[in-house]
Chain A
Amino acid sequence: MEPLLIKVIIVIVLFVITLLVALYATFAERKVSAIMQDRIGPNRAGPFGLLQPLADGVKMIMKEELIPALANKWLFIIGPCIALLTALMTGAVVPWGGPIKIGDQVITLQVADLNIGILYIFGVVSMGVYGIMIGGWASNNKFSLIGAIRASSQMISYEIAMGLAIIALVMTTGTLSLNEIVLQQDEGWANIVIQPLGFLIFIICAFAETNRAPFDLPECETELVGGYHTEYSSMKLGFYLFAEYINMFISSAVIVCFYFGGYNFPFQHELAELLGLSSNALSIIQTVFMFGKVFFFIFFFMWVRWTIPRFRYDQLMTLGWKVLLPLALANIFVTGLVMWGMGKI
């Protein structure tokens, strides 16, 4: 097959998988919250309530579409589109599994192996702010505007600590390509061993970037009604909510690639040798492990949401600027010192 055709197929498969995972993440969220609160959760639609996400989706589409009379119509529509678009774009640089060989062709399970992969993710994430800001502003509603400003200032503040946490990782790995970071973890240790503090800062920032509890300040019923999507209804609201779950999925995948060895698992080559697996079979098992790790982190996101109460807004800003930022800088400094001591620079 032609390389371009293969890429198109990978893009479509990734698109469908991302949407499916996000769809069932909404269902999982309700089930997880139900278990944590000693309830049963959705169980009416289909066996074990498995058709619930479809019912939710149909409901979202069938709801009346409302655009406020004084809203800026085009920007009101573009807002949720940007939110969903940027959420879907980040998955392009994540390697989902080892290479698969068909005949003499090698297919990498990755849409694009950019040598600036980390910067690409940052660029797209920083675009995600616009979906929220444009939507909140175009609604022509004070609550929406305040919610949008809250959300975007939160995202920008935590982007800095996140970037600095990654710089320490880039220092130890020496590359900006996600594929190479994953391959390096196959040969050596997973990066969590080398960068434990960096991981902690990164995952806290990932919670803030996805606007998830305990940092879900943008939505605050008692102060802001629905936050930036107060005026949204029907599928446009669905886009915003859906983008949050896609972001959760992709940031889990990025965390796994950065700190938990990506698609690698311990003793994989020994196992392959022991069972006499071909490299293709190993790649498939690796992909299964990759998704297993990602699903664990999605569960972790939900676990935290239903365990920890939310922060107050000033506490959130204090944590971002006065705790995480100095910690991330100290992490870079210590990483540099240790690398210098080991003679790596």
Chain B
Amino acid sequence: MSITLIIFWFLSFLALISAAIVVFAKNPVHSVLFLIITFFAIAGHYLLLSAQFLAAVHIIVYAGAIMVLFLYVIMMLNLNKETEPHKKPLIKFIAVIAAGLLMLTLVAAFKGAEITVVTAADPSIGSVETLGKVLFKEFLLPFEVSSILFLAAMVGAVYLSKKDLN
């Protein structure tokens, strides 16, 4: 096995295990921390695909900013006790059936899929230079329009945080 393959298996294992713990952990803070580990494993996958920029931004934005906000909310609302309410048996039964149907759909969808090995034509395809050129030359308009979305969200947040809305 090549070293890349070993790293790939390790990262996949780490991502799946920690993602499972995110769901199964009773304590919400533990869930958040394992979600951060999952993000790191996925960032490792980006690095294996030689998309360094994506990996760095993934860490900075998701693990560094968004998960901190998650932790804030959990700490502020004092959700740190294991207070997960017990669900009724009927709801559990419906949930199992729904999840089973989803699994069936996924298996059916992937059954016919072929596994092919894709070799990247250009190793610098994920570098900052390439990405910047693509974003600012080919996709300039959608890129700039998406920033208006962020602006709208920011204005909304500022408006909501005003003490008196009159």
Q: Which listed residue, A75, A116, A145, A149, touches B52 by the CB 8 Å rule?
A: A116
Q: Give B35-61 as 1s and 0s: 1 = Cβ < 8 Å from A's Cβ atoms.
A: 010000000000000001100110110
**Contact at A119–B57, with CB atoms within 8 Å?**
yes
Contacts of A153 in B (CB 8 A): 72
Most A-side CB within 10 Å, residue of B33, B53, B64, B65 = B64
Q: Is A292 in contact with chain B by the CB < 8 A criterion?
A: no
Q: Is B19 in contact with chain A by the CB < 8 A criterion?
A: no
* In the complex, residue of chain A having the shortest beta-carbon distance to the beta carbon of B72: A149
Q: Which listed residue, B52, B63, B68, B128, touches A156 by the CB 8 Å rule?
A: B68
Q: Among residues 133 to 156 in chain A, which have CB atoms less than 8 Å away from a CB atom of chain B?
A: 133-134, 137, 145, 149, 152-153, 156
Q: Is B80 in contact with chain A by the CB < 8 A criterion?
A: yes
Distance of A115 Cα from B75 Cα, bound (Å): 37
**Contact at A123–B59, with CB atoms within 8 Å?**
yes
**Contact at B53–A119, with CB atoms within 8 Å?**
yes
Q: Is B127 in contact with chain A by the CB < 8 A criterion?
A: yes
- Interface size for chain B: under 10, 10 to 19, 20 to 34, or 35 or more residues? 20 to 34
Contacts of A205 in B (CB 8 A): none
**Contact at B75–A145, with CB atoms within 8 Å?**
yes
**Contact at A129–B56, with CB atoms within 8 Å?**
no
Contacts of A149 in B (CB 8 A): 72, 75-76
Q: Give B54-89 as 1s and 0s: 1 = Cβ < 8 Å from A's Cβ atoms.
A: 001101100111001001100110001000000000
Distance of A156 Cα from B64 Cα, bound (Å): 9
Contacts of A156 in B (CB 8 A): 65, 68
**Contact at A137–B60, with CB atoms within 8 Å?**
no
Contacts of A120 in B (CB 8 A): 56
Q: Is B11 in contact with chain A by the CB < 8 A criterion?
A: no
Distance of A134 Cα from B68 Cα, bound (Å): 10
Q: Among residues 123 to 148 in chain B, which have CB atoms less than 8 Å away from a CB atom of chain A?
A: 127-128
Contacts of A126 in B (CB 8 A): 59-60, 63-65, 68
Shortest CB-to-CB span from A169 to chain B, Å, is 15
* In the complex, residue of chain A having the shortest beta-carbon distance to the beta carbon of B78: A145
Contacts of B56 in A (CB 8 A): 116, 119-120, 122-123
Number of A residues, CB within 8 Å of B: 22
Contacts of B127 in A (CB 8 A): 115
Q: Which listed residue, B33, B36, B64, B71, touches A123 by the CB 8 Å rule?
A: B64
Q: Is B29 in contact with chain A by the CB < 8 A criterion?
A: yes
Distance of A152 Cα from B80 Cα, bound (Å): 18
Contacts of B33 in A (CB 8 A): 75, 134
Distance of A149 Cα from B36 Cα, bound (Å): 18
Once A115-B52, A115-B128 are accepted as A-B contacts, the answer to whether A127 and B64 lie under 8 Å apart by CB is yes
**Contact at A114–B52, with CB atoms within 8 Å?**
yes
Contacts of B63 in A (CB 8 A): 126-127
Q: Is A130 in contact with chain B by the CB < 8 A criterion?
A: yes
Shortest CB-to-CB span from A322 to chain B, Å, is 12
Shortest CB-to-CB span from B75 to chain A, Å, is 6
Distance of A114 Cα from B50 Cα, bound (Å): 12
Shortest CB-to-CB span from A128 to chain B, Å, is 9
Contacts of A122 in B (CB 8 A): 56, 60, 64
Contacts of A129 in B (CB 8 A): 64, 68
* In the complex, residue of chain B having the shortest beta-carbon distance to the beta carbon of A119: B56
Shortest CB-to-CB span from A119 to chain B, Å, is 4
**Contact at A123–B128, with CB atoms within 8 Å?**
no
**Contact at B59–A116, with CB atoms within 8 Å?**
no
Contacts of B64 in A (CB 8 A): 122-123, 126-127, 129
Distance of A115 Cα from B53 Cα, bound (Å): 9
Shortest CB-to-CB span from B130 to chain A, Å, is 11
Contacts of B53 in A (CB 8 A): 116, 119
* In the complex, residue of chain B having the shortest beta-carbon distance to the beta carbon of A137: B75
Known: A114-B52, A115-B52, A116-B56. 7 other contacts (CB 8 A): A115-B128, A119-B53, A122-B56, A126-B59, A126-B60, A133-B75, A149-B72
Report B's interface with A, CB cutoff 8 A. 29, 33, 36, 52-53, 56-57, 59-60, 63-65, 68, 71-72, 75-76, 80, 127-128
Closest 6 A/B residue pairs (Cβ): A126-B64, A119-B56, A123-B59, A116-B52, A123-B60, A116-B56
Report A's interface with B, CB cutoff 8 A. 72, 75, 114-116, 119-120, 122-123, 126-127, 129-130, 133-134, 137, 145, 149, 152-153, 156, 176
Chain A to chain B contacts (Cβ below 8 Å), 12 pairs: A116-B56, A119-B53, A119-B56, A120-B56, A122-B64, A123-B60, A126-B59, A129-B64, A130-B68, A133-B68, A133-B71, A133-B75
